[in-house]
Each structure stands twice: as C-alpha cells, then as structure tokens.
Structure 1
Amino acid sequence: MKQKLGIVIAILAMGAVLALSLIHDSKANAAHSPEQAIKKTILAYLNALNSGDIDSLVQYSDDLRFPDKSVQKDTYTQNKFQQSITDITIKTLEPQTATSYMVIFSAKIDGDPRDNLPIPVVYKYGKWLVVMGQQQQ
C-alpha cells in the first residue's frame, strides 16, 4: 500500500512539474511573438542605418538586389549608407502572409518628419528581416 501511495505521489509531482513547465513555455512564447520580434528587427535596422553600422544593416536585411551578402556589404560601404533617423514610432504591423508583414512607422529622417512609411519584413533563415530592393524585382 505504501509503495502504491509513493508511486501516486511521484506521478502527481511529475504532473505538477510538467504543468508548470507548460505554463512557463506558453508565457515565454507570448513574450516572443512575431510582432515583438519584428519591432526589434525594425528598430535594430533603423538604428544601424542611423549610425552607419554596415554589418548590422546587412544582418537585419534581405536586400533583393544583392543575393550575395559580401556584395551587399561592399556596395553599402561604398555608398556610405547612413541617415539621421529619430523619433521612430511603429504604428502598425499588418500581416501579409504567415511569414511576411508590412510595418508602418513614422520618424524624422534627416530632420524631416515623415508619416506612414511602409517597410516590408519577411521571416527567412530563422529570423525576421527588412526587405530592401523590392521595387527592382
């Protein structure tokens, strides 16, 4: 009888641990929603553009004009990609498909207030990337 009671207690304890684990995982997944990851990517990309951080620009973008990342980096370096971007406000994130969103934001670009600026993002290679060069395709 004591052995059966011990087994029941062990099973209940394992069930409680499993339930707590599932609750923790669901909270962690909610905290890492696509929307939050997309906002983080957009802000990182715009901050890289603001500071002229070419490595981060390449890291956070999928520039369709440059399938080769080394060519993308060389071109960005030669063109000295940098703009003054301040007062960034992400207004909406509109899902286009399960793996793409259109982000609408406002900011001051080189001191000029801009509103309703669209920037596409896509989930590729296990992360969200800003899509550049789309009009050339």
Structure 2
Amino acid sequence: MRKLIVSGILTLIVLSGCSSEAGVTTDEKVTGLVSDYLGALESKDISAMVKYTDDLRFPDKNEQKKQYSHIEAEITDTKIIEIKKVSETEFEATVEMVSDGDLNELTFPIQKQEENWKIIVGQDF
C-alpha cells in the first residue's frame, strides 16, 4: 500500500511538471527569451548573450564570444516594447535600451531553429 501511495505521488509530480511546461505558450517562451537576453546585455553576461542569439556576423560561436568580450557599450534601462508573431516559426521583438546614455529602439527577428528560439542579431552590419 505504501509503495502504491509513493508511486501515485511521484506520478502526480511528474505529470504536473509536464503539464506546466506544456502550459507555457510560444508567446511566453519568446517573451522570456527576449527578457533574458536584455538582462544578459545589461549584466554583460557573454555566455548568455551567445546562448540566446544567432549572430549572423559570427558563424563560429567561439569567435562570437571573443568579439562580445570587447563590447564596451554601457547598456541600461532595457525594455520590451512589443513582441509580434510573424509566423509559426518567427516573431519580431521591438525593444528599447539606453546605450552609453543614448536611447535606442531596435527590432530583432526571432526564429525557431530546431527546438530552440534564437534572437537574430548582426543583420544590419
């Protein structure tokens, strides 16, 4: 009887974990990704910035990390303005940030690549 109760509790825990993950919408995942990326920009967390992006300028992730380590801009006051669904595999995020004291509004494409969503950067260079 005790094994049955323990087994039942474990099953409920596993199922509730699965349902909460399934309950996260694509919009929420993309919004979370953008929010995490903005936080990484502000804290200059290079590993996270590389993780969340597909930088078209650097096909090699090691080169991307190396170049990101030379970023001197002071980025603060980041904010998501809008996230718009373009298709099932693409969103567009408009964000606002202060870079070295200047207010900038930028728009980034976000694409589903295999199982993960990535913010596309470097397309303007």
TM-score, reference length from structure 2 = 0.72
5+ residue gaps, structure 1: 1-23
Q: Deviations over 1:36-93 (max 9, x none)?
A: 111111111111111111111100100011111111111111x2355322152x2322
Pick the structure with more helix per residue.
Answer: 1
Q: Deviations over 1:111-133 (max 9, x none)?
A: 44445x31221111311111111
Moved over 6 A (4+): none
> CA contact under 8 A between 1:50 and 1:82: conserved in structure 2?
no
Look at both structures and tell me which one has the larger radius of gyration over its CA atoms. 1
Name the aligned partner's letter for residue 134 of structure 1.
Answer: Q
Percent identity, please. Answer: 28
Change over 3 Å in CA distance of 1:33–1:66 after alignment to 2: same
Change over 3 Å in CA distance of 1:123–1:81 after alignment to 2: farther
Q: Of residues 51, 59, 63 in structure 2, which corresponds to 1:67?
A: 59
Distance, in Å, in 2 between the alignment partners of 1:46 and 1:98 is 23
TM-score, reference length from structure 1 = 0.66
Q: Of residues 88, 95, 108 in structure 2, which corresponds to 1:98?
A: 88
What count of residue pairs does the alignment treat as equivalent?
111
Equivalent residue of 1:66, what SS? coil
Equivalent residue of 2:124, what SS? helix
| Aligned-residue RMSD, C-alpha | 2.6
